[in-house]
Amino acid sequence: MSQENVTPDLARERSKATFDVENLAEFMIGGRDRLKRKRFLQNIAIQDPFFKKQKSWSFCSVEEQYDMGLSKSIYIQKKLQEMGITDMQEAFYYRECAAAHENSPLGLHYAMFLPTINKQATPEQKKKWLPLAENYKMIGTYAQTELGHGTFIRGLETTATYDPKTKEFILDSPTLTSKKYWPGCLGKTSNHCVVMAQLYTQGKSHGPHMFMVQIRSMEDHSVLPGIEVGVIGNKFGYGTNDNGFLSFDKLRIPRENMLMRYSQVSRIPRENMLMRYSQVHEDGTYVKPQNAKLAYGSMVLIRSSIVSDAARGLAQACVISIRYSAVRRQTEAYPGGEEPQILDYQTQQYRLFPLLASAYSLQLAGKYVFNTYLEVNDQIEKGNLESMPELHALSAGLKAFSTYEASAGIEVCRICCGGHGYSQASGLPKIYVDVVPGCTYEGENTVMMLQTARYLMKCYSRAKQGQKLPGFVQYIGQNLNKKSCMSEEVALGCLVMAYEHRAARLVEAAAMRMQSLIQGGKKQHEAWNGSSVQLFWAAKAHCHLFCVKNFVDAIQAKSLSSKTVTVMKSVCQLYGVHGILENLGEFMQDGFFSGEQVGYLQRKMLALFENIRPNAVALVDAFDYPDMVLGSCLGRYDGQVYQALYDYAKSAPMNQTEIHSTYYKHLKPLINPETTSDAMQFAKL
């Protein structure tokens, strides 16, 4: 990044750093070569005249945002093809810079539609559809959520009934609440979509399955008969995406349009594979998958990406608010004295530094889940799901934990920027409305936490039976009578121990609550509901423990210099200490901590603020986000905040004319009623 025109405040902040920013940046992204490649690709976007001439996102109407989003998406895709970029991560680096926090109208085509074909289609189906989809002849999305059902997939109402006479499925939306609602890229962009519908064949229901459905003509984009499709209207954010609704009126599609890699209709039963196909009547025979959990791999991949997205959003908000806090000066420390940087106020540090620590922790957590998924993906493809339950439960919980943390944290960052944080010029509102939907899509967060809790209850039961638990969950069922080893030093090992104790106790408390309700005569589902708040607490504590432990393990990497480790140890300690103090009741309820030990933690937190303060700007620099990604007047690398704010204001469309049209329409009749023909009418009102 250019060192030219950097304000004295930011230049001084960077000169105080006690570690090598490049060393930490390389570690966070996965090596020096990857960092160089990221910067190379992002610099191509930064220098491209096409993106420089684009109208500011914040001055666009929703229709203009969608138009700009589609234009950018197509241009980006062409550039990626020209550069021969096929690596998913490299494509992301370029897209992130070219259209930061602008959800592409083609986003679900390559994020959901293509991966679903790859994961769920047969070889014959792939051969038919992938070439068309990869060349954008077929533009697709994924339609699951309905007006009446979202996270509860088994409750979906859209039906797909097999007709053996015509060898077709009949897709129908039998109720108002069965209409597909919210899928991105659906309203105006896609001509195909993968539809999740309840499969009926031979008079029986076989649950939700996936079907390839053409919804618009591939020639003129007109809506096909039997289909109603459109956009759902303005949302809180996501103006660049045409989230839509979709319904079917007894639409017939070929049998071959059911995605049949794992489940089949009118296929040769597996036990009769030696029979000739012609000997089998296509009467709608259903062959269920060998393992119903084979689809979990895709869920883990998607949820790990959501964790990373949330972490990036929080990290970017921290970059903006901490750089701005180093530039902004406010209130004399003493009469006649210089106004201090607001980053020097302990209260500002108390709000921002724990969020900085959270951003690092969540990025490392997302990285772990994604890399673990890649390691076990081959096993999953072969049907070996031994490691899948733990990974699935962790990814579900972390999806909820990270999006909650990031959404709340970004709002705190905005507040910490004062009045300027409320302006779109800060870049923070754009980041917030991009991240906060993650609390809902791909599984509502409370439901995700309870999925994790269900796994934890199974683990607790196994532990009580003396069975050995896998990997990370071995803390469950541990001895709860031991006391904390916490001292003034606040060792990382003692922090991990404290989080293990808290999680183990909350898991046990939830299990005991359920057992008590069942013994009292409640049915299983009633006991679950009656324990769900404690189950939620247990799952949250489990995820929090993972983030702490993973952070501790990560900073011991050999690629980090000793000076970087020293700084990151302070960041890691702050993450753990602040988390305890914010949830103190859960750590003290059974006397695990003494009052004296709580005092250690409080003093340590304040000491850590002092340790981190000289490195605060360097730590956000290490996230390595160029100004084009941040899109913020407040978070600029050079710190030229006030000139940027003024330039932003001057560029507003309403400032392009000295006298706005509304003066003649509304104000002039109000000020001088006698000078206009409307005056009499106005006076009579």
**Predicted confidence (pLDDT) per residue in 396-447, tens digit:** 999 999 999 999 999 999 999 999 999 999 999 999 999 999 999 988 999 9
Mean pLDDT of all residues belonging to the chain:
92
Residue 170 sits at φ, ψ, to 5 deg, of -105, 110
Is residue 139 within 8 Å of 192, Cβ to Cβ?
yes
CA 72, CA 638: separation in Å to the nearest integer? Answer: 27
- 444 Cβ contact partners less than 8 Å away, ≥ 6 residues apart: 150, 151
Instruction: Write the DSSP symbol of residue 286.
Output: E
From first CA to last CA, the distance across the chain in angstroms is 60
Find the angle CA(50)-CA(54)-CA(56) to the nearest 5 degrees.
155
Mean pLDDT across 624-640: 97
For the ranges 159-168, 334-343, 359-368, which has the lowest average pLDDT? 334-343
Question: Would you tell me how many other CB atoms lie within 10 Å of the CB of residue 472?
Answer: 16
Say which residue, 296 or 432, is predicted with more confidence.
432
CA 368, CA 617: separation in Å to the nearest integer? Answer: 26
Question: pLDDT over 90 for what percent of the chain?
Answer: 81
Q: pLDDT by residue (tens digit) across 524-574?
A: 999 999 999 999 999 999 999 999 999 999 998 888 999 999 999 999 999
- pLDDT of 277 reads 41
Most confidently modeled range among 297-311, 407-421, 656-670: 407-421
Beta bridge partners of 163: 168
Confidence of residue 78 (pLDDT cuts 50, 70, 90): very high
Instruction: Enumerate domains of the chain plus CATH numbers.
Output: 35-105+298-439 (1.20.140.10), 122-291 (2.40.110.10)
- pLDDT of 296 reads 65
Burial 105-115 (b: 16+ CB within 10 A, else e): bbbbbbbbbbb
Residue 662 has pLDDT above 90, yes or no: yes
- pLDDT of 2 reads 60
- pLDDT of 294 reads 64
CA 210, CA 164: separation in Å to the nearest integer? Answer: 18
Mean pLDDT across 215-237: 96
Amino acid at 264: Q
Sign of CA dihedral 319, 581, 499, 532: negative
Amino acid at 188: K
Mean pLDDT across 111-116: 92
Is residue 569 within 8 Å of 19, Cβ to Cβ?
no
Question: pLDDT over 70 for what percent of the chain?
Answer: 94
- pLDDT of 204 reads 94
Residue 80 has pLDDT above 90, yes or no: yes
CA 444, CA 550: separation in Å to the nearest integer? Answer: 25
Find the angle CA(350)-CA(11)-CA(564) to the nearest 5 degrees.
60
Instruction: Write the DSSP symbol of residue 339.
Output: P
Is residue 242 within 8 Å of 188, Cβ to Cβ?
yes
Residue 280 has pLDDT above 50, yes or no: no
- pLDDT of 207 reads 93
- pLDDT of 678 reads 52
Residues carrying an active site annotation: 442
Residue 380 has pLDDT above 80, yes or no: no
CA 327, CA 333: separation in Å to the nearest integer? Answer: 16
Residue 329 sits at φ, ψ, to 5 deg, of -115, 140
- pLDDT of 1 reads 64
- 642 Cβ contact partners less than 8 Å away, ≥ 6 residues apart: none
For the ranges 167-171, 388-392, 523-527, 559-563, which has the lowest average pLDDT? 388-392
Residue 685 has pLDDT above 60, yes or no: no
Which tokens go with 623? 């996230």
Residue 310 has pLDDT above 70, yes or no: yes
Among candidate residues 141, 117, 120, 143, the one with its CA nearest the CA of residue 130 = 117
145 has binding-site annotation? yes
- pLDDT of 289 reads 81
CA 251, CA 232: separation in Å to the nearest integer? Answer: 22
Is residue 166 within 8 Å of 126, Cβ to Cβ?
no
Residue 673 has pLDDT above 70, yes or no: yes
184 has binding-site annotation? yes
CA 234, CA 229: separation in Å to the nearest integer? Answer: 16
Mean pLDDT across 265-275: 56
Mean pLDDT across 110-114: 92
Radius of gyration of the chain from Cα atoms? 28
Is residue 140 within 8 Å of 471, Cβ to Cβ?
no
Strands 159-163 and 192-201: parallel
